[in-house]
Structure formats: C-alpha cells, structure tokens
C-alpha cells in the first residue's frame, strides 16, 4: 500500500519539488496550501497533472490548531492516516531588531514554529499506534548561524531542531523518526527575484559557488521519508553547498 504523505506549504518553491519527488517515489501525496492560495493551487494542480501527477491540495492555515485538526480529519476520511509529514510552510518578515514589531515576530513564530506543533500534533499518536512514521521539518541554515534582520525567522527555525530532537526520543522505540532538513540559499522565485548584485555576492560566499536547486532539498527529504533512513532520527541534514558546516 502506498504511504500517505502530507506536505505543508506544498505548492511553494521547495514544496513543489518535494511533492513531485515523493509522488514519483510512490507516495500518495496531499499538498497543503494556505486558504489565500486556493486559486493558485488550481493552476498548480493543472501543471502537476500535465506532468502525470494527480496531487490533491487541501487548504488550511498551519497557524491555526483547529484548522489543522480539520485538515487531518479530512485526509483521514478521504485517503487514510498520514504516514509521512513534511512541515515545509514558512514565511519571512525581515526587519532589523530595532524596527521589529510584535506583529511581525508573532506572525513568523505562529507559522514557522507553532505551525509545526499544530500539524504534527494531529498525526503523532496515530504514527505511534501504527508503529511507523516519518516527520521531516524544513528549517534553514539561518536557524543554525543566525542572520542579520532575521531574529524572528532564525529563532523559529533554530527551535525546530530542539523540537525535532525531543520528538525523536519519544518516537524512537515506536518506529517513528523525526528529522530536520536545513536548506541554504535555494533557487526559488524569492531568490531569483533578488537584485543581481546581491545574488552574486551571496553566491561568492557559498563554497560551491552556486545556489541549491529545490530538487536537491527534495532528494534529502525523500531519503528521510524512505525505509532506508530507518536508523536516522533527531538529525539535521544540511543542504547548503558548504555555506555552514556543523
């Protein structure tokens, strides 16, 4: 039986590559999007269908526990219990700390950190009961090394690793692994839209002298989602071209 995978932020730049990769490796995939993205989700689904992949999209705000509970109930009823969860939804609200307002801080923590709790909490007990589960949290190099203007984002992404290591201990004897993938600079709409000078200066600081491709993040996620990674838990896989080594 195909395993059921839920990917939050599934129609974003990195999310799309992960969806395609997991669907091609035989998972029954459900992509989550934010409720404001429903129109985009339709054209996204058409683009996937043109590639031969039928991927259902379910809208839910990961910042809302109740909405996440509703989404997971719907997935349970339509497809069955979630075996693989990839927490990929994320936002930035960059500001130097002296200009950072409580609303920016709260928005980033609500989506990037509380969102991970809100979705994972819905699937965790079922995974423990069934004796199999894979949780993969998409963090960031900036959660490991910090970043000017990203105190909110770096705090949320760093916290994800503490969450990962704690849950890994709770799931280890029950066949449930919990890991983090920390991308560096990845070629998505956001990084491609950067001013060329800024882009080039970032690239010159990356030992591999290029940004990563979303497919390279997806490859790490696919490995962690597979049976081959059964003995890896509580880990953080860095996909950053050597930008930060820890």
Q: Is 140 in the site for ligand NAD (CB under 6 A)?
A: yes
215 sits near ligand NAD (criterion: CB under 6 A): no
Residue 213 DSSP label: P
Q: At which residue do the structure tokens 């989404």 appear?
A: 71
User: Does the annotation count 153 as an active-site position?
Assistant: yes
Residues 144-203 that bind ligand NAD (CB under 6 A): 183, 185-186, 188, 190-191
Among 19, 123, 135, 138, binds ligand NAD (CB under 6 A): 138
For 103, left (φ over 0), alpha (ψ -120 to 50), or beta?
Answer: alpha
Q: Is 9 in the site for ligand NAD (CB under 6 A)?
A: yes
* Edge-to-edge strand list for the sheet holding 57-59: 57-59, 28-33, 4-7, 84-87, 133-138, 176-183, 236-239
Instruction: Identify which range of 13-21, 95-103, 123-131, 170-178 contacts ligand NAD by CB under 6 A.
Output: 13-21
- Alpha carbons 13 and 147: distance in angstroms, whole number: 21
Q: Is 57 helix (H, G, I), strand (E, B) or coil?
A: strand
Say how far apart CA 146 and CA 155 lie, in whole Å.
Answer: 8
> According to the binding rule CB under 6 A, does residue 20 interact with ligand NAD?
no
- Which part of the chain contacts ligand NAD (CB under 6 A), choosing from 32-40, 73-81, 124-132, 195-203? 32-40
59 or 232: CB nearest ligand NAD: 59
Binding ligand NAD (rule: CB under 6 A), the pick from 31, 111, 135, 168 is 111
- Does 85 interact with ligand NAD (rule: CB under 6 A)? no
- Compute the least distance from the CB of residue 68 to ligand NAD, in Å: 9
**Chosen residue from 5, 75, 90, 144 binding ligand NAD by CB under 6 A:** 90
Question: Where does the chain show beta strands of DSSP type E?
Answer: 4-7, 28-33, 57-59, 84-87, 133-138, 176-183, 236-239
Q: Are 23 and 55 in contact (CB under 8 A)?
A: yes
Return the structure tokens found at 187. Answer: 């070629």
Told to check if 239 binds ligand NAD by CB under 6 A, we report no
The two tokens of residue 236 are 């953080």
| Residues with a known catalytic role | 153
Residues that bind ligand NAD (CB under 6 A): 8-9, 11-15, 32-34, 37, 61-63, 88-91, 111, 138, 140, 183, 185-186, 188, 190-191
């Amino acid at each position: 039986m195909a395993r059921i995978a839920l990917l939050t932020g599934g129609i974003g730049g990195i999310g799309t590559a992960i969806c395609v990769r997991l669907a091609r490796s035989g998972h029954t995939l459900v992509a989550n999007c934010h409720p404001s993205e429903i129109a985009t989700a339709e054209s996204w689904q058409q683009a996937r269908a043109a590639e031969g992949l039928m991927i259902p999209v379910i809208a839910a705000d990961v910042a809302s526990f109740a909405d996440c509970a509703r989404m997971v109930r719907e997935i349970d009823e339509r497809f069955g219990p979630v075996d693989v969860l990839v927490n990929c939804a994320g936002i930035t609200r960059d500001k130097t700390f002296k200009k950072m307002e409580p609303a920016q801080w709260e928005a980033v923590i609500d989506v990037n950190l509380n969102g991970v709790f809100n979705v994972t909490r819905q699937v965790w007990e079922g995974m423990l009961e069934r004796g199999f589960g894979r949780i993969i949290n998409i963090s960031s190099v900036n959660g490991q090394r910090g970043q000017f203007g990203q105190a909110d984002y770096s705090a949320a992404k760093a916290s994800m690793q503490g969450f990962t290591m704690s849950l890994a201990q709770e799931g280890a004897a029950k066949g449930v692994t919990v890991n983090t993938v920390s991308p560096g600079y990845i070629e998505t709409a956001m990084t491609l839209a950067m001013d060329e000078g800024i882009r080039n200066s970032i690239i010159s600081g990356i030992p591999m002298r290029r940004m990563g491709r979303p497919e390279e993040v997806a490859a790490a996620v696919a490995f962690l989602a597979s049976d081959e990674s059964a003995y890896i838990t509580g880990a953080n896989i860095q996909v950053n071209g050597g930008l930060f080594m820890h």
